[in-house]
């Protein structure tokens, strides 16, 4: 195992330490590179750059491995549920029965949204995008819970467990209320029921007619949220760390993360997948024509839900969600023509050299929309579902930043390629 890397630039030679992760990943420690050489590394999009050491999630993109605190996603999908996995991701260990009970109670205790905070909804046009509203509302938690959001790590960490529970529970409730606001439905009070049952109640109950969640539906919702719980240093999680590294409180960091997740290349992909499948269906295409267009490489015809910045193999979550699609639709006695199209696209792409050569496989977003739709969740809410699921991962990463006594503010460098020094030109001499 190399201890050092030798960097030779012309006559200059520097030795850089090599770091090794607990799964054998190797890194060249570049923290002294600029000081020792005057050079920086250039790595657009940070695809080859580690911004932190983390103990939360391990991803092996080449072998399609995903583990949370060492537990394989396949085992968590089979044996765990969203709230238990959220506890694991945030606190580092599976909860004891007592810890699980207390955590669940804390989430129920903070499921409501105060009347004062509900007034914020009045300012949002109903047509406002759900994720824009959610980002603003989550950021406002820092206004309603200032004692948990002091922008002082030491003080905020003392209240972390409460702030974390409030964040997870309120993001769920705010997500449901955004839906009701957009549809002009009255807001409901949460019930003293488990996390996913409460979400479905807050979304779909009528003022005098409670939504009756069947076990298959809450089980499917638990699975799909668990599948989204954390994913290493993805765009929105890195955003959480970037914002938190300035000392910003948890709620402000989560608000920024929601903004990052809303993009179509990230969490917005599950909406883009459904729009893609629907347009293929509307054009009476079984996917064959679309695949051909996707291979042209034009961004407008990307095979949404395919490809990944890290996985160069199957996204293990896509396999699990894809399997759950069949089970959920069968249990609910539903069929979805878009599922057949999705399967056609997957089969065709997995045999096509364009996708094989670029190592493009289905990612978590490819099938998730089918399940959300089967659960009655409208497309406009899919990325909100992703945010509800990802909240534990963001929270755990914020805590790592806040707890790192040797931590530094995230401040990447750049390569300046703009105009060199020039003198000011008075207005009279311009044009
Ligand atoms: C998520 O980071 C995470 O972990 C994210 C996530 C999480 O849990 O947080 O896993 C969730 O965001 C999943 C990804 C959801 N996004 C999509 O499904 C959008 C469609 N996929 C792509 O836009 C793309 O694959 C990305 C953005 C996901 C990854 O982009 P990369 O790694 O920067 O790949 P690239 O854009 O450099 O493309 C490499 C090549 C290009 O072709 P060439 O220039 O080599 O000819 O592959 C092509 C691209 O044109 N390509 C695709 C494609 N994705 C990449 N061609 C057709 N369809 C696609 N989907």
Task: Tell me: do 167 and 23 sit in the same domain.
Answer: no
State yes or no: is 281 an active-site residue.
Answer: no
For residue 212, the model assigns a pLDDT of 86
Residue 263 C-alpha to ligand 1 middle, in angstroms?
Answer: 13
Task: Tell me: do 220 and 291 sit in the same domain.
Answer: no
388 lines ligand 1 (CB under 6 A): no
Question: Contact, 89 vs 396, CB < 8 A?
Answer: yes
Is position 429 within any domain? Answer: no
State yes or no: is 197 an active-site residue.
Answer: no
User: Which of the following is catalytic: 156, 181, 308, 336?
Assistant: 308
Task: Tell me: do 314 and 356 sit in the same domain.
Answer: yes
318 lines ligand 1 (CB under 6 A): no
307 lines ligand 1 (CB under 6 A): yes
CATH number, domain with residue 194: 1.10.580.10
Task: Tell me: do 20 and 117 sit in the same domain.
Answer: no
Task: Tell me: do 100 and 54 sit in the same domain.
Answer: no
For residue 326, the model assigns a pLDDT of 87
Residue 63 C-alpha to ligand 1 middle, in angstroms?
Answer: 17
Task: Tell me: do 17 and 88 sit in the same domain.
Answer: no
Nearest CA to ligand 1 atom 37: 309
Quote the number of domains for the chain. 3
For residue 295, the model assigns a pLDDT of 86
What is the Cα–Cα distance from 266 to 228, expressed in whole angstroms?
A: 12
What is the Cα–Cα distance from 228 to 384, expressed in whole angstroms?
A: 11
Is position 137 within any domain? Answer: yes
User: Which of the following is catalytic: 230, 315, 336, 365?
Assistant: 365
Question: Contact, 73 vs 225, CB < 8 A?
Answer: no
Is position 415 within any domain? Answer: no
Nearest CA to ligand 1 atom 21: 307
Nearest CA to ligand 1 atom 57: 302
- Which of 89, 308, 313 gets mutated to test ligand 1 (max ligand atoms within 8 A of its CB)? 308
Nearest CA to ligand 1 atom 52: 302
222 lines ligand 1 (CB under 6 A): no
Residue 307 C-alpha to ligand 1 middle, in angstroms?
Answer: 4
Task: Tell me: do 159 and 107 sit in the same domain.
Answer: yes
360 lines ligand 1 (CB under 6 A): yes
305 lines ligand 1 (CB under 6 A): yes
Question: Contact, 83 vs 218, CB < 8 A?
Answer: no
CATH number, domain with residue 36: 2.20.28
Q: Which domain holds residue 303?
A: 269-375
For residue 334, the model assigns a pLDDT of 87
Domain boundary among 14, 45, 65: 65
Residue 35 C-alpha to ligand 1 middle, in angstroms?
Answer: 35
Is position 30 within any domain? Answer: yes
CATH number, domain with residue 310: 1.10.230.10
For residue 299, the model assigns a pLDDT of 62
Q: Per-residue pLDDT for the chain (431 aa), expressed as one digit of tens each?
A: 778 999 999 999 999 999 999 999 999 999 999 999 999 999 999 999 999 999 999 999 999 999 999 999 999 999 999 999 999 999 999 999 999 999 999 999 999 999 999 999 999 999 999 999 999 999 999 999 999 999 999 999 999 999 999 999 999 999 999 999 999 999 999 999 999 999 999 999 998 899 988 898 999 999 999 999 999 999 999 999 999 999 999 999 999 999 999 999 999 999 999 999 999 999 999 888 888 888 886 666 789 999 999 999 889 999 999 998 888 898 888 888 999 999 999 999 889 999 999 999 999 999 999 999 999 999 999 999 999 999 999 999 999 999 999 999 999 999 999 999 999 999 999 99
> What string of H, E and C letters represents the secondary structure of the chain?
CCCEEEEEECCEEEEEEEEECCCCCEEECCCCHHHHHCCCCCCHHHCCCCCCCCCCEEEECCCCEEEECCEEHHHHHHHCCHHHHHHHHHHCCCCCHHHHHHHHHHHHHCCCCCHHHHHHHHHCCCCCCHHHHHHHHHHHHHHHCHHHCCCCHHHHHHCHHHHHHHHHHHHHHHHHHHHHHHCCCCCCCCCCCCHHHHHHHHHHCECCECCCCCHHHHHHHHHHHHHCCCCCCCHHHHHHHHHHCCCCCHHHHHHHHHHHHCCCCCCCHHHHHHHHHHHHHHCCCCCHHHHHHHCCCCHHHCCCCECCCCCCCCCHHHHHHHHHHHHHHHHCCCCCHHHHHHHHHHHHHHCCHHHHHCCCCECCHHHHHHHHHHCCCCHHHHHHHHHHHHHHHHHHHHHHHHHCCCCCCCCCCCCCCCCCCCCCCCHHHCC
Task: Tell me: do 218 and 310 sit in the same domain.
Answer: no
Partners of 26 in the beta sheet?
20
168 lines ligand 1 (CB under 6 A): no
Four-CA torsion 233, 236, 242, 247, nearest 10 degrees: -120
Task: Tell me: do 38 and 111 sit in the same domain.
Answer: no
Is position 233 within any domain? Answer: yes
Is position 10 within any domain? Answer: yes
- Which of 273, 307, 387 gets mutated to test ligand 1 (max ligand atoms within 8 A of its CB)? 307
Task: Tell me: do 398 and 344 sit in the same domain.
Answer: no
Nearest CA to ligand 1 atom 20: 304
What is the Cα–Cα distance from 99 to 93, expressed in whole angstroms?
A: 10
Nearest CA to ligand 1 atom 8: 231
Task: Tell me: do 229 and 89 sit in the same domain.
Answer: yes
Is position 125 within any domain? Answer: yes
Task: Tell me: do 111 and 236 sit in the same domain.
Answer: yes
Is position 332 within any domain? Answer: yes
369 lines ligand 1 (CB under 6 A): no
């Amino acid at each position: 195992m190399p201890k050092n890397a030798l960097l030779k630039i012309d006559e200059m030679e520097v030795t850089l330490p090599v770091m090794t992760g607990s799964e054998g990943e190797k890194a060249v420690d570049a923290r002294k590179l600029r000081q020792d050489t005057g050079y920086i590394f250039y790595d657009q999009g940070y695809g080859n750059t580690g911004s932190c050491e983390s103990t939360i999630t391990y991803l092996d993109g080449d072998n399609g491995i995903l583990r949370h605190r060492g537990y394989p996603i396949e085992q968590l999908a089979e044996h765990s549920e969203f709230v238990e996995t959220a506890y694991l991701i945030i606190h580092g260990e599976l909860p004891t029965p007592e810890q699980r009970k207390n955590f669940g109670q804390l989430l129920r205790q903070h499921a409501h949204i105060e009347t004062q905070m509900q007034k914020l909804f009045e300012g949002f046009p109903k047509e406002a995008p759900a994720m824009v509203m959610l980002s603003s509302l989550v950021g406002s938690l820092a206004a309603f819970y200032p004692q948990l959001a002091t922008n002082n790590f030491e003080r905020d960490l003392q209240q972390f467990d409460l702030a974390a529970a409030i964040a997870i529970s309120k993001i769920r409730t705010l997500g449901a209320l955004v839906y009701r606001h957009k549809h002009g439905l009255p807001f409901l009070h949460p019930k003293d029921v488990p996390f996913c049952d409460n979400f479905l109640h807050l979304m779909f109950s009528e003022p005098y007619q409670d939504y009756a969640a069947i076990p298959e539906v809450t089980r499917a919702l638990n699975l799909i949220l668990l599948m989204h719980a954390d994913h290493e240093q993805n765009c929105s999680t890195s955003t959480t760390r970037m914002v938190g590294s300035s000392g910003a409180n948890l709620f402000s960091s989560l608000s920024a993360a929601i903004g990052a997740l809303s993009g179509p290349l990230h969490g917005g992909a599950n909406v883009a997948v459904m729009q893609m499948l629907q347009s293929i269906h509307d054009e009476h295409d079984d996917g064959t024509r679309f695949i051909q267009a996707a291979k042209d490489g034009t961004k407008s015809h990307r095979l949404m839900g395919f490809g990944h910045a890290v996985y160069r193999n199957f996204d293990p979550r896509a396999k699990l969600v894809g399997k759950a699609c069949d089970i959920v639709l069968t249990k609910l006695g539903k069929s979805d023509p878009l599922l057949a199209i999705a399967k056609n696209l997957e089969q065709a792409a997995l045999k096509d050299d364009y996708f094989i050569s670029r190592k493009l496989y289905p990612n978590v977003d490819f099938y998730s929309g089918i399940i959300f739709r089967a659960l009655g969740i409208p497309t406009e809410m899919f990325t909100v579902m992703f945010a509800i699921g990802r909240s534990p991962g963001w929270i755990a990463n914020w805590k790592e930043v806040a707890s790192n006594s040797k931590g530094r503010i995230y401040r990447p460098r750049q390569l300046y390629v703009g105009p060199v020094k020039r003198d000011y030109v008075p207005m009279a001499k311009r044009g």
